[in-house]
Amino acid sequence: MVNQHSELLESQYKDPEPLHFALAILATLSGAAGLIIQMAQYRRERNRDRNIIRKHLFIADRSLNRIDEAYRSLISIFDENGILLAPFAPGKSALYADERLLSELNRLQFDIFYGGRDLLNALVELSELLANRDSEIALKIARDLDEIFQKALHSNRFLEFFIELGRMLELVTEFIYRIGERYGFQPTSIRIGLIDDTISRLKSRIE
């Protein structure tokens, strides 16, 4: 059974489709955006437990760290293989992956899946705990998330796609941090600075 599973993974990623990995992160962040948009529409008071809210904020933060690492690693892999400037469309580019790269892509997909699962679960829990003032923060960020999501889907190249993906990641992070300010949540990560730097470097490659 283990050998059959290994053979399936190997055959799946012999000539992996770059779009598959790019859209995996977009799917995770669009799910997070959808939950934030829903929170923006809430207008009722809740019984709030500060400690439980902080718990889910920390879970969301750690999940975003995992997704962010996968995001920057994918950019590096696409850059190494000359795909960043390729059309953002299926079948227009290919990753000719050796065993090392196949293993790395498999790990990244694992991180995207489980990081995304934990992020969405934390946001679902937060949606049941946050109050009216929190929904005002969500509303401001939700508008931008929807606009950026549409831009990402209509990107011409992977380069532009990753720029918009970074902006979505930055906004979801900003939402967690701004909500956290009201509940004593002070993360030690420097993710927003790293995302800003990544986006700036990508923009410098636009021809």
CB 206 within 8 A of CB 157: no
The CA angle 73-167-203, to the nearest 5 degrees, is 75
Residue 82, Cβ density class (10 Å: 0-12 exposed, 13-18 middle, ≥19 buried): exposed
| pLDDT tens digits along 76-85 | 999 988 899 9
Mean pLDDT of 75-104: 85
Length of the chain counted residue by residue: 207
Residue holding tokens 């899946």?
113
The per-residue pLDDT for 140 is 81
* Long-range interactions of 141-150: CB distance < 8 A, separation 24+: 141/36, 141/40, 141/171, 141/174, 141/175, 141/178, 142/33, 142/36, 142/37, 142/39, 142/40, 144/171, 145/33, 145/36, 145/37, 145/171, 145/172, 146/33, 146/37, 149/26, 149/29, 149/30, 149/33
Mean pLDDT check: name the lowest of 28-37, 95-104, 107-116, 169-178.
Answer: 95-104
Q: At what angle do helices 18-40 and 158-180 cross, to 10 degrees?
A: 30
**Do 198 and 166 touch, CB atoms closer than 8 A?**
yes
Please give the helix or strand (H or E) that residue 42 lies within, else none. Answer: none
* 43 vs 143, more confident: 143
DSSP letters spanning 93-106: ------HHHHHHHH
Condensed to tens digits (0 to 9), the pLDDT of residues 100-153 reads 888 888 899 899 999 999 999 999 888 888 777 777 788 888 888 888 999 999
Structure tokens at 178: 């701004």
Percent of the chain residues past pLDDT 70, beyond the cut: 86
Mean pLDDT calculated for residue range 158-184: 90
Residue 113 CA to residue 45 CA, distance in Å, equals 33
Contact 18/95 with Cβ under 8 angstroms?
yes
Task: Identify the pLDDT of residue 47.
Answer: 56
Query: d(Cα 61, Cα 42) in Å, to the nearest integer?
Result: 22
What sign results for the dihedral spanned by CA atoms 108, 159, 19, 170? positive
DSSP state of 86: S
Q: Determine if the pTM surpasses 0.85.
A: no
pLDDT digit string, tens, across residues 16-26 = 788 888 899 99
Q: Chain-wide mean pLDDT for the chain?
A: 82
